[in-house]
Structure 1
Amino acid sequence: MKFELRTYRASDGKMPALLARFTDHTLAIFARHGMHSVGYWLREDDPSVLVYLLWHEGDPAKNWSDFKVDPDWVAARSASEVDGSLTASIEATFLDPVEALAVGDLPTK
């Protein structure tokens, strides 16, 4: 299992549309390609930044390449970006768990 931390800076005024695209399309498409959401957060000091954590089944590079050509993703992205890109930048970092420091029962709220 490979973890991936992703940070998106929304284009000016586009965070609501970006979040809607995740809710309405992206999450289901991720799941079809072995990409599972752990959580999503807006930065407290900068609400134009979305941070999320995924875990990947199999090879993350293959998961992403399959995701990018998925017809549902291509259609959702095209429809949501008629007035321009929803993101100004995207950063991805892959993480390896440190088993000795695994966190147990985290609060859900």
Structure 2
Amino acid sequence: MRPALLACLALAAVAAPPASAQDALDPRAAFYELRIYYPAPGKLAALNKRFREHTLALFARHGMRNVAYWNEQPTATAPEGRVVYVLAYPDRAARERSWQAFGSDPEWRAVAAASEADGKLVAKVESVFMTMADYSPALTLPR
């Protein structure tokens, strides 16, 4: 991962306001997950639509803090680009509980089935688990 992208991710982790006081996480203590989705050929627009219209709200419902989302510019290895995003959780155990609940949510299952009626939207997913470094400039931003 490029250092500039990681710096942007750290900044976004602190700069993005929580949806509610209940969602507030101390950026120094939060457990972050960087996720990279490689869209199936021709499916980037449908993947973005699913995130926009359904997934973010479902993530929030299951205790995942939506930090920031990006569309990577196309490259030789990812001609449509990739969807890159960061979620935050209080800790690793909370992350596991959230994903388990999300995966079994009947609404998510219906959304996934409908959006993938013409084929899978995602060819590959990568996850990177992170904690904020104590020297991160993002820690000096107002919360």
Whichever residue aligns with residue 100 of structure 1, its letter is Y
Cα-to-partner distance string for 1:15-69 (whole Å, 9 max, x where unaligned):
0000000011100000011111111111124343110011124511111011000
Work out the CA distance in 2 between the residues paired with 1:102 and 1:75. 41
Supply the RMSD in Å over aligned alpha carbons.
1.6
* Count of matched residue positions in the alignment of Structure 1 and Structure 2: 106
Whichever residue aligns with residue 67 of structure 1, its letter is F
TM-score by length of 2: 0.69
2:80 counterpart of 1:51: no
- Paired residue for 1:16? 45
Whichever residue aligns with residue 28 of structure 1, its letter is A
% same residue = 39
Larger Rg: 2
CA apart distance, 1:105: 4.0
* Higher normalized helix content (fraction of residues): 2
TM-score by length of 1: 0.89
Runs of 5+ consecutive residues of structure 1 not aligned to the other structure: none
Runs of 5+ consecutive residues of structure 2 not aligned to the other structure: 1-29
